[in-house]
């Protein structure tokens, strides 16, 4: 296919083609079938942030995501994560489509948390606590509502005015929502950590023993959103063990401290989705770092829906 005829699938078009529940279902099926061994993302330092390259391939297709991460964009009122995703046909390796890369990231990250929450949280979980107020916070609210009967959303943000604004936005859409004290005790069934903080935003002393946590904001070995006590007091689940222990500071740091051991990981998402392992009960924590295969599943599902 000639490059000038490649369709571009924008954020709005992607969301029309692949609603959140469809993305969750596509990923759930893919995890059930198994996760191919693929390279860990390549991360390069650039003057104001990072450049990430994430390739993936299978009989479903071939794809690569090129993403920039620039924390200074918060002050510019621009997204901190931007980029493109290029999808190729599996047999001929011909290019099929170009996607808004940040939209793919936003959708698949929340959808993966949706898969984890479907398998790990209580079916009647109705109270959600979100840390963060950006695009991932919004997409995670959608994902949690897709798999659980959420009645109340509580919001914590490093910029309190943003938490108030997001709560107002949700109430206007008919969902009960409030901003809450970041230092307060957690009264929720599900917690989603969707921040760019390099240090813990929540600690074990705030958390009840029966709760499910999705920690997805940090993706580097030296950063984390939860403290070591939270990790050691939870049953931890991951997308892929090798990728998690390569990139997840939330797990690498407590293991280095001697507070936790990777052999304590309860299961990966293949084992959960395929029914090989069931949720442990008590406090469960899903640590996601993002896999290139997840982008490929979402992109191919959206492309197929466009045909």
* Fold classified for 122-290: Rossmann fold (3.40.50)
pLDDT at 1 over 70: no
Q: What is the location of CATH 3.30.1780.10 in the chain?
A: 3-105+294-306
pLDDT at 293 over 70: yes
Which tokens hold the place of 222?
């030296």
Q: What is the location of CATH 3.40.50.720 in the chain?
A: 122-290
- Taking domain 3-105+294-306, whether its CATH number is 3.30.1780.10 is answered by yes
Which tokens hold the place of 169?
């936005």
Q: What is the pLDDT of residue 81?
A: 80
Q: What is the pLDDT of residue 188?
A: 97
Q: What is the pLDDT of residue 184?
A: 92
The residue written with tokens 């950590």 in the block is: 193
Q: Which of 117, 133, 97, 101 is nearest to 217 (CA)?
A: 133
Percent of the chain scoring above 90 in pLDDT:
84
Tens of pLDDT along 38-77? 888 898 999 989 999 999 999 999 999 999 989 888 888 8
Q: Comparing 151-160, 256-265, 277-286, which segment has the lowest mean pLDDT?
A: 277-286
Tens of pLDDT along 77-117? 888 888 999 999 999 999 999 999 999 999 999 999 999 99
**Residue 17: C-alpha distances to residues 53, 94, 125, 141, 154 (Å):** 25, 22, 28, 19, 29
Beta strands in 234-282 (DSSP E): 235-238, 267-268
pLDDT at 230 over 50: yes
Note whether 244 and 289 are within 8 A (CB).
yes
**Residue 103: C-alpha distances to residues 16, 37, 130, 136 (Å):** 12, 24, 20, 10
**Residue 143: C-alpha distances to residues 9, 38, 47, 271 (Å):** 21, 26, 34, 21
**Residue 237: C-alpha distances to residues 23, 118, 140, 264 (Å):** 20, 13, 18, 9
């Amino acid at each position: 296919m000639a490059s000038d005829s490649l369709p571009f699938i924008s954020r709005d078009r992607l969301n029309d083609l692949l609603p959140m529940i469809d993305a969750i279902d596509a990923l759930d099926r893919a995890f059930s079938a198994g996760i191919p061994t693929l390279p860990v993302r390549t991360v390069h330092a650039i003057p104001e942030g990072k450049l990430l390259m994430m390739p993936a391939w299978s009989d479903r297709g071939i794809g690569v995501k090129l993403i920039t991460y620039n924390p200074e964009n918060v002050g510019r009122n621009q997204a901190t994560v931007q980029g493109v995703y290029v999808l190729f046909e599996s047999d001929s390796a011909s290019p099929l489509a170009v996607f808004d890369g940040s939209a793919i990231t936003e959708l698949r990250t929340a959808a993966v948390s949706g898969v984890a929450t479907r398998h790990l949280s209580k079916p009647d979980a109705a109270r959600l606590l979100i840390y963060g107020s950006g695009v991932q916070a919004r997409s995670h609210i959608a994902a949690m509502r897709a798999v659980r009967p959420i009645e109340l959303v509580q919001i914590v943000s490093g910029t309190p005015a943003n938490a108030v604004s997001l709560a107002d936005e949700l109430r206007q859409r008919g969902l009960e929502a409030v901003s809450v004290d970041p230092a307060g005790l957690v009264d929720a069934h599900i917690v989603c950590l969707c921040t760019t903080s390099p240090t813990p935003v929540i600690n074990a002393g705030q958390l009840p023993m029966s709760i499910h946590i999705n920690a997805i904001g940090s993706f580097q070995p030296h950063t984390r959103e939860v403290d070591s006590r939270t990790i050691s007091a939870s049953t931890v689940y991951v997308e892929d063990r090798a990728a998690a222990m390569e990139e997840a500071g939330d797990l690498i740091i407590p293991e280095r401290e001697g507070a936790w051991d990777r052999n304590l990981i309860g299961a990966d998402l293949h084992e959960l989705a395929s029914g090989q392992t069931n949720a442990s009960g008590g406090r469960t924590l899903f640590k996601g770092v993002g896999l290139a295969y997840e982008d490929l599943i979402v992109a191919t599902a959206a492309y197929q829906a466009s045909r």
